[in-house]
Amino acid sequence: MEKRAAPFLSRTQAALRRYLGIYAALWKNSVTREMNFKTNFLLWIVVEVLWFGLQLAFIGVLYLHTEQIGTWSKWQVVMLVGASHFIQQVFQAFFLINCTNLSELVRLGKLDFLLLLPVNSRFVVSFRQVDLGAFVNAASAVAVMVYAARRMDLSPGAAQIAGFLVLCAAGILIHYSLMFLLASISFWTVRAQGIVWGYYNLFQIARMPDEAFGRGLFRGFFTFAVPMLLVSNVPVRLLVDKLSSAGPLLLLLVMSGLCFAVSEWIWRLSLRQYTSASS
């Protein structure tokens, strides 16, 4: 058994080193590209910071007229907005540009070249570019969350912080999987950017407390069909001790795996029917 496992581990390590090397090269290209357009790089950081500030200002105005939304206090909601912004910006850093560009790769025939590379096609399509400015905006979200925690006299332990990061990763996987799935529609429609950006606008729902929607159809749809209300609410509930059971944690993890599996199935189905731009 050990003799059989050794070659498998060796191949796995070699593949991992290879893909890390490829990703390092892609990262280097992204840095070079961003530095060629410094003004655009700085402008988008400013725009995102202003938008984030408007979201926080809206919460401030809202809580001038109420003390709680369901069981969520003002600073708990501020932390929720910060967590949502953090998840969105990390997703944007790694995946947004690549998902939105998939339809152009199909339309212009550039996907043909990527499919010929000796590397997993989904990997190279998903990680071709990196949005460096989004990391700066993610840092501002962390700063807001830390400030909100101090206002609540909240001191989460190492296990809570680690759990929060794992759940954030699950939320990012949901965003990526669903947007990649929608982008794959471009194999049938050629242009799917409108659909992809329409989904991106749904990110705003993740900033809201789930209790604000009661227990109706809307909350059920955005919990199980398009799980926006799980993405940020569950990680923040873990941090502020608002979880009464492990059910929401398991649901978020299961939904992230399910969304990825469905997006992978759609991707492979799309590739099977793709005839290339030269056909």
Mean pLDDT over 67-94 rounds to 93
Residues 31-35: what's their mean pLDDT? 77
**Phi, psi dihedrals of residue 205, rounded to the nearest 5°:** -65, -30
Percent above pLDDT 90 for the chain: 45
Q: How far is CA 157 from CA 82, 154, 238, 239, 271, in A?
A: 19, 10, 11, 9, 45
Which position has the token pair 């501020």? 78
Domain ranges of the chain: 10-273
129 CB neighbour count, 10 Å cutoff: 19
pLDDT recorded at residue 44:
81
Residue-wise pLDDT tens digits, 215-268? 888 888 998 888 999 999 999 999 998 888 899 999 999 999 999 999 999 999
Calculate mean pLDDT across residues 133-153: 94
Q: Looking at the predicted structure, is the pLDDT value of residue 100 above 60?
A: yes
Q: Measured between alpha carbons, how far is residue 227 from residues 101, 123, 220, 252, 258 in Å?
A: 24, 24, 9, 8, 11
Query: Is residue 198 over pLDDT 90?
Result: no
pLDDT at 106: 86
C-alpha span between 23 and 25 (Å, rounded): 5
Return mean pLDDT, the chain: 88
Phi-psi region of 72 (alpha: psi -120 to 50; beta: other; left: phi over 0): beta
Q: Residue 4's pLDDT is what?
A: 58
69: β partners? 72
From CA 31, how far away is CA 41, in angstroms rounded? 11
pLDDT of residue 166: 97
Q: Evaluate if residue 167 carries a pLDDT over 80.
A: yes
The pLDDT of residue 159:
92
The pLDDT of residue 8: 62
- Who wins on pLDDT, 23 or 30? 23
Contact between 178 and 196 under an 8 Å Cβ cutoff? The reply is no
Contacts of 88 (CB under 8 A, 6+ apart): 175, 203, 206
pLDDT (mean) for 210-218: 85
In our burial notation (b when 16+ CB lie closer than 10 A, e otherwise), range 206-242 reads bbbbbbebeeeeeeeebbeebbbbbbbbbbbbbbbeb
Average pLDDT over residues 128-148: 93
pLDDT at 47 over 90: no
Pair 76, 139: CB distance under 8 Å = no
C-alpha separations of 121 from 35, 102, 189, 264 in Å: 27, 12, 20, 11
Q: Which pTM value belongs to this model?
A: 0.90
